[in-house]
Amino acid sequence: MLRHSENQVLLRKVVRDFVEQEIAPMAHKIDEEDTCPVELFQKTAQLGFNGVFVPAEYGGAGLGYTEMAIVLEEIGRHSAGLAVGLVAHYMGVYAIMTWGSDEQKQKYLPLLCSGSFGGLSITEPGGGSDFAGQKTIGQPVGGEWILNGRKCFITNSHCMGVNVLTARTGEDDKGRPQISAFIIEGDTPGHKPGRKEKKAGLRGSYTGEIILDNVRLPQENLLGKPGDGAKIGLGTLGEMGRGGTAAAALGIVRGCLEESVKYAKERIIYGKPLAKLTNIQFLIAQNRTDYEAARLLTYNAAGMKDAGKPCASELSIAKYFVVETAVKAAKRTMDLMGGYGVISDYPVNRYLRDAVAAIPACGTSHIMQVIIAGGELRK
Amino acid sequence: MKIAVCIKPVPDPNHYNKITVNPETKLLERKGIPMVINPVDKNAIEAALQLKEQAGGKVVLVSMAPPDAREKLTEGLAMGADEAFLLSDRAFAGSDTLATARVLAAGLKKIGGFDLILAGAESADSGTSHIPSQLGELMGLPHLNHLIELNLEAASLKMKTKIEYGYAEYEGNLPMVLGVAKEINKPRYTTLMGVVAARNKPFTIWGLDELELDPASTGLAGSPTQPGELHLPRHGRKAELLEGEPGDIAGKIVAILRAAGVLV
């Protein structure tokens, strides 16, 4: 039986209080205006959301990945777009926390916990899944690194405070591309946002290009060792991004369940609430069952991560299942609501757009299937 | 400055439509309804935390409630209070406001040393507004209720209370007992760091024996007011389908309205 501790129950309550008062009222507006309420990030920082799993010595709340998932589910319940912005932030935080030197942790984690946006920049126009094929170059020149290139589909691109970015820095002994990871402060000369994408869903966080035009970095901005880029980039995507995206999408599934119940009770048809119709009950039962399965997968994977157990497969399973389930639940809930499901006065069509947009985040469902199958076939 | 805040767990006002009356016992059926800190009590905690931030000191939560109220007190500790006391005993069950005030006063006296005692002006479930005044009387301290403004200046308090047409201004010296209205402030959001810290803060449970109270002064036995019969108001709707020509139907409607006393 998966059961949260009393502290986790209280944490969920305090996060929900904030989300219902501060985020829910603006969720429709930020979707309509396709904007990111960056000022809200300062408030979430003060409450400890931005550094939920960061040790207290670096300014975090000192909690774990289960608590991170609770924060993301609660925010995702009303604004999956905002939640995914926080997932991208967490990826930058996680990379520095896991692979950073003591000096890097001391310098950047307090910044990231106190309101500066983090992010992870891997994907390039040539593709995100072809990690080794990235063309951004990092050249060692006179004791510095000079970076040039272009990243795309980067969440938090236009509000980035601390960017963890991968670049090609040479070749290894076997002639394969050597990828390294760097920490770049958002206002470093030559580091700038490019095109801002207009997304179908997950509006509420910025996604766009990062341009690197002769960005000069000192040696101390190299994260890990030269050639650690794959370990850091793919490790962060796998261990943090996928679990985070699953939790944000879990919020969408819960939103579908709650909205379907609310509508079925309120909508009167043939003189009775819609909820009295058996076929409507089937839809609600499916939403409830989907939420339960999605919840168990998400928190099981987060719990494994907290326990320090290998969980790459479980995180991919959760991400694959929860996001695909969110798409189905949103479509099902729109079916239940008929015409009202389509109009923007009701949030469910936003849930569908958000769920669909969550599919490519941190690896598409097909990539998740490849990872899951790989895990099985290697046994 | 040592400040006590008396808080009460109440059924979540967002779920009041689910509360029913047991036809046998005439007691409220609250099964499945989550309990929350009485909303205006959170304003009292906020007022106490602001005073502590201004003058230093300690904020102590005190509640008379069943044992499962521990989580509500922990929530107050997570908000920033320093210590909590739960006054809980089967002998306290069924207490009216006076018996409740006796228990709270006994707890407050036993803890001792308070410069200020705060409470919410009224509870969301019973809404009597009795407790602040009863506490003040039992403890021999000046008391005011429905505060909408509270400023500490040296050792004196400048206060505004809500009255029917406007407000009244007061000035008084500590110690006092004050009931705060929701207009006084906006309670802060609880931080995750506060949640982490809450479990390590001192928490004490006292029953009848520790408070050295006479059983006859608490619970149903010590309550001069006891509820009589409780009934839910009926909100039934009656529908009648009228058939015929429009003119005939209009005549029937007028007759029905006259019979119901709506039209004279």
Could you tell me the pLDDT band of residue B133, with boundaries at 50, 70 and 90? very high
Confidence of residue A128 (pLDDT cuts 50, 70, 90): low
CA-nearest of A362, A243, A355 to A298 is A243
Residue of B nearest to A17 (CA): B189
CB-CB: which of A7, A18, A56 is closest to B195? A7
Domain residue extents for chain B: 2-217
Q: What is the mean pLDDT of chain B?
A: 92
Q: Quote the ipTM score.
A: 0.90
The dihedral formed by the CA atoms of A216, A218, A219 and A223, expressed in degrees to the nearest 10: -80
pLDDT at B155: 76
B contact test, residue of A6, A10, A57, A70 with most B CBs within 10 A: A10
B235 versus A178: which is more confidently predicted?
A: A178
The gap between the terminal CA atoms of chain A, to the nearest Å, is 27
Mean pLDDT for the stretch of residues A202-231: 95
The 10s digit of each residue's pLDDT in A57-107 is 999 999 999 999 999 999 999 999 999 999 999 999 999 999 999 999 999
Domain A231-377, CATH homologous superfamily name and number: Butyryl-CoA Dehydrogenase, subunit A, domain 3 (1.20.140.10)
For residue A90, which of A46, A136, A156 has the smallest C-alpha distance? A156
Chains A, B: CB contacts within 8 A come to 51
Tell me which residue has tokens 């079916």: A335
Contacts of B131-135 spanning 24+ positions with Cβ under 8 A = B131/B6, B131/B97, B131/B100, B131/B101, B131/B104, B131/B179, B132/B177, B132/B178, B132/B179, B133/B177, B133/B179, B134/B97, B134/B98, B134/B101, B135/B6, B135/B101, B135/B104, B135/B105, B135/B108, B135/B177
Neighbours of B60 (CB within 10 A): 24
Residue A57: per-residue pLDDT: 96
- Contact list in B for residue A4 (CB cut-off 8 A) is none
- pLDDT of A348 > 80? The answer is yes
Separation between Cα atoms, residue B254 and residue A313, nearest integer Å: 73
The rounded distance, in Å, linking the Cα atoms of A138 and B141 is 73
Confidence of residue B254 (pLDDT cuts 50, 70, 90): very high
Non-local CB neighbours of A322 within 8 Å, separated by 6+ positions: A246, A247, A249, A250, A253, A294, A297, A298
Residues of A whose CB is below 8 A from B39: none
Instruction: Find chain A residues with C-beta within 8 A of B192's C-beta.
Output: 11, 14-15, 47-49, 52, 61, 63, 67, 71
Q: How far is residue A304 from each of residues A49, A232, A291, A298, A314, measured CA to CA in Å?
A: 21, 20, 20, 10, 8
Domain topology for A119-230: Butyryl-CoA Dehydrogenase, subunit A; domain 2 (2.40.110)
Q: What is the homologous superfamily of the domain B2-217 according to CATH?
A: HUPs (3.40.50.620)
For chain A, domain boundaries: 6-116, 119-230, 231-377
- Residues in CB range of A188: below 8 A, 6 or more apart: A215, A216, A217
pLDDT digits (tens, 9 = 90+) for B8-37: 999 998 888 788 887 776 667 777 888 999
CA B126 to CA B13: how far, in whole Å? Answer: 11
Candidate from A20-34, A121-135, B132-146 with smallest mean pLDDT:
A121-135
CA pair distance A340, A336, nearest whole angstrom: 9
Classify A6-116 by CATH class.
mainly alpha
Q: What is the 3-state secondary structure (H, E, C) of A195-257?
A: EECCCCCCCCCCEEEEEEEEEEEEHHHEECCCCCHHHHHHHHHHHHHHHHHHHHHHHHHHHHH
**Which residues in A lie closer than 8 A to residue B194 (C-beta atoms)?**
14
Q: Name the A residues in 196-255 with CB < 8 Å from any B CB.
A: none
Is residue B49 within 8 A of residue B188, CB to CB? The reply is yes
Pull the structure tokens for residue A369.
Answer: 């299937």
CA pair distance A353, A22, nearest whole angstrom: 22
Separation CA B256–CA B238 (nearest Å):
12
Are residues B189 and A48, on separate chains, in Cβ contact within 8 Å? no
Query: How does pLDDT run across B147-191, given as a tens digit for each residue?
Result: 999 999 887 899 999 998 999 999 999 999 999 999 999 999 999
Quote the pTM value. Answer: 0.90
Question: Maximum distance among all alpha carbons in chain B?
Answer: 81
Strands (E), chain A: 118-121, 137-141, 144-155, 162-171, 177-185, 191-196, 207-218, 222-223, 268-269, 272-273
A300 Cβ contact list (under 8 Å, min separation 6):
A2, A314, A318
Pick the residue from chain B with its C-alpha nearest to A50.
B192
Q: What is the pLDDT of residue A266?
A: 94
Residue A379: its pLDDT value, please?
86
What six digits make up the tokens of A162? Answer: 């601390």
Residue B189 to residue A18, Cβ atoms within 8 A: yes
| A24 chain-B contacts, CB cut-off 8 A | none
Question: Is A131:A58 a contact under the CB 8 Å cutoff?
Answer: no
**Chain A residues near residue B198 by CB distance under 8 angstroms:** 10
